Amino acid sequence: MKSNPTRRRVLQSAIASTALASTVFVDPKFAIAQSARSTFKQWVADFRPRALARGISEKTYDRVMAVTPDTSVYALDRAQPEFREELWQYINRRVSDWRVIAGKEHAKEVAPLLDRIEKDYGIDRYVMMGLWGNESAFGDPLVQKNFMRPVIPALAALAWGEPRRRTYWEKELLNALVIIERGWSTPEEMNGSWAGAMGHMQWMPEVWLNTGVDYDKDGRVSPFGKPDDAFAGTAQYLLKRGGYRRGEPWGYEVKAPGGIGEGGHRTYATWQKLGVMRADGQAYVAPNVSARLWTPVPRGPSFLLSKNFDAVKSYNPSNSYALAVVLLGVRIGGAGPLMQLFPGGERTPTLAEVQEIQRRLTEHGYDGGTPNGRIGRETIQAILAYQRKIKFDPVDGYAGLRLLARLRQGP
């Protein structure tokens, strides 16, 4: 079963909006409903037969749909980032020291579950950890508290008043209602992104409904709580929709001689004969697996990517996203940072350096948040304010080494 392209585009947009929630421009004209076809109350009444046809009981529908639509989602749907994020910044933010350290701790905590996932589905544990870290910071309650909202009012608003993808939003609202009807969740529990992605692995209702697994055998499928069901359902997604292959690597950072083209797939053994070697000097695992060469930025790091990289990309159709997932995974697994820096980029700041940035921002009169080495909304807002004040170029909200050097000079 193929993944719905619209769902994937929407999920990609939702993830970007969540990550940049504090740094987007929101046009106030989108704060009101965008459909004048009927009032929300009338639309709920008109939509009722479709829900009943999906097996939703009258009692469930009337109870769940007695909501006020969350029309603030229109602005988030249309919001655009205030600045352009370079690829090296994107990677550094998502493969931060904080995430690597936290990921190693969480990997130990859920090691028995990861053992079972690898045995039952063949998904590499560190791919799973990379997804978990990127989707919800390992199920961190702060993500739920600061970025998530009730899903039913959000989906109801989109299905009622968002004209561009109304059909899609209607289907996802129906999927969410089916989940509630089955007793898998409640409206109160279903908190997620503005687009309806929920839980440890940020499942849309369609994914929850169709690829979810009751892995802990408690009689329901849930992306919340302990991560058993979330891991198993995501593993099943990667297998069925991404075509993940058991025992094959996602790829490697490599060193490639000049003149090697990126086109076409070759086995790792063939690439090695052409002079393309692993950047860490180690031998290729599974040398007969086919891979393609990719250099995201000229003169930057190069990678050989196999089918399992594409499987990760099926979760969100972005090369940058998939690269962040797999790189976070290998770092959690004990590997070092990239051997080759991106041109014009910086190395990832250490946990101590990020903590220093947060402390110095606060000392200079900007609330940098708790100096815990984790970049959140408060820290990004403080960085932006500081950068604008001193006319820092670029104003990008990035907690990097250039910013730290400037902070050390004083206000």
Q: Which CATH number characterizes residue 43's domain? A: 1.10.8.350
Domain boundary at 188, 208, 240, which? Answer: 240
Evaluate whether residue 200 is within a structural domain.
Answer: yes
- Per-residue pLDDT tens for 76-119? 887 655 557 899 999 999 999 999 999 999 999 999 999 999 99
- Where residue 65 falls (left for φ over 0; alpha for ψ -120 to 50; beta otherwise) is alpha
Q: Which of 193-197, 267-271, 351-355, 407-411 has the lowest mean pLDDT?
A: 407-411
- Are 231 and 373 in the same domain? no
Q: What are phi and psi of 377, to 5 degrees?
A: -60, -45
Q: Which domain holds residue 28?
A: 5-81+146-240
To which H or E segment does residue 385 belong? helix 377-390
Q: How far is CA 16 from CA 57, 216, 320, 321, 378, in A?
A: 35, 31, 12, 10, 17
Q: Which residues contact 99 (CB under 8 A, 6 or more apart)?
A: 133, 137, 328
Longest dimension (CA), the chain: 68
CA distance between the termini of the chain? 56
Evaluate whether residue 343 is within a structural domain.
Answer: no
Evaluate whether residue 208 is within a structural domain.
Answer: yes
Domain boundary at 194, 211, 240, which? Answer: 240
Evaluate whether residue 380 is within a structural domain.
Answer: yes
Q: Given pLDDT bands bounded at 50, 70 and 90, which one contains residue 264?
A: confident
- Are 166 and 31 in the same domain? yes
Q: Which of 30-34, 370-374, 402-406, 407-411 has the lowest mean pLDDT?
A: 30-34
Evaluate whether residue 274 is within a structural domain.
Answer: no
Cβ neighbours, 10 Å, residue 29:
10
- Are 225 and 76 in the same domain? yes
- Are 21 and 170 in the same domain? yes
Q: The dihedral of CA 358, 362, 365, 366: what is its sign?
A: positive
Number of domain units in the chain: 2
The Cα 326–Cα 138 span in angstroms is 15
The Cα 317–Cα 325 span in angstroms is 12
More confident residue, 157 or 144: 157
Answer yes or no: is pLDDT of 19 > 90.
no
- Are 220 and 363 in the same domain? no
**pTM of structure:** 0.90
